[in-house]
């Protein structure tokens, strides 16, 4: 789905190992280079070691939640430009608004559709190549 066979780097962050595993497999089949993290601190470390092109981030995690991760990344100039898709069970309007106000590019609630997630990622990474499907 990416230009010239280039694999976009995606960092998936979720404390649910089953979700991480299934998302990884699906995104790799869609030609993404995928790295995973199971908590917020690990996510920050992985971003600093190998900056991804997009982050798919759960909100509800132990120790450091997704909002804290988002806040830390947006506060650092070299990481502030990384688009973030919040993927979470927190579906109340106040949580959605908080995510967008903090700089999230997209906010999807669980349960989610895998195809929709990929379309979301593609739209964020390649807005000029996306066309409306009927």
Confidence band (pLDDT; 50, 70, 90) for 129? confident
Residue 55 maps to a domain: yes
What b/e string do you get for 80-112 counting C-beta neighbours within 10 Å, with b at 16 or more? eebbbbbbbebeeeebbebbeebbbbbbbeeeb
Q: Is residue 119 part of a domain?
A: yes
**Residue 58 falls inside a structural domain:** yes
Please tell me the predicted confidence (pLDDT) of residue 4. 47
Residue 132 in any domain: the answer is: no
Within-domain flag for 51: yes
In a domain, 17, yes or no: yes
Could you list the residue range(s) of the whole structural domain that residue 51 is in? Answer: 3-125
With beta carbons less than 8 A apart as the criterion, state whether 32 and 7 touch. Answer: yes
- 130 in any annotated domain: no
- For 31-75, the pLDDT digits (tens) are 999 999 999 999 999 999 999 999 999 999 988 999 999 999 999
Per-residue pLDDT tens over the stretch 77-128: 999 999 999 998 888 889 899 999 999 999 998 888 899 999 999 999 988 8
Task: Note the pLDDT of residue 80.
Answer: 96
Which residues, at least 6 apart from 94, have a Cβ–Cβ distance to it below 8 Å? Answer: none
CATH number at residue 39: 3.40.50.2300
Total number of domains in the chain: 1
In a domain, 90, yes or no: yes
Annotate 12-23 with b (16+ C-beta within 10 A) or e (fewer): bbbbeeebbeeb
């Amino acid at each position: 789905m990416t230009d010239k066979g280039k694999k976009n780097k995606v960092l998936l962050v979720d404390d649910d190992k089953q979700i991480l595993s299934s998302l990884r497999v699906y995104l790799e089949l869609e030609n993404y280079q995928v790295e995973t993290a199971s908590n917020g601190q690990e996510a920050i470390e992985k971003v600093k070691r190998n900056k991804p092109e997009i982050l798919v981030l759960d909100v509800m995690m132990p120790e450091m939640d997704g909002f804290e991760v988002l806040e830390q990344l947006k506060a650092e100039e070299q990481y502030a430009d990384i688009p973030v898709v919040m993927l979470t069970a927190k579906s109340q309007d106040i949580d959605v608004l908080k995510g967008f106000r903090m700089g999230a590019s997209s906010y999807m609630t669980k349960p989610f559709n895998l195809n929709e997630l990929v379309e979301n990622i593609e739209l964020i990474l390649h807005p000029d190549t996306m066309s409306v499907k009927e």
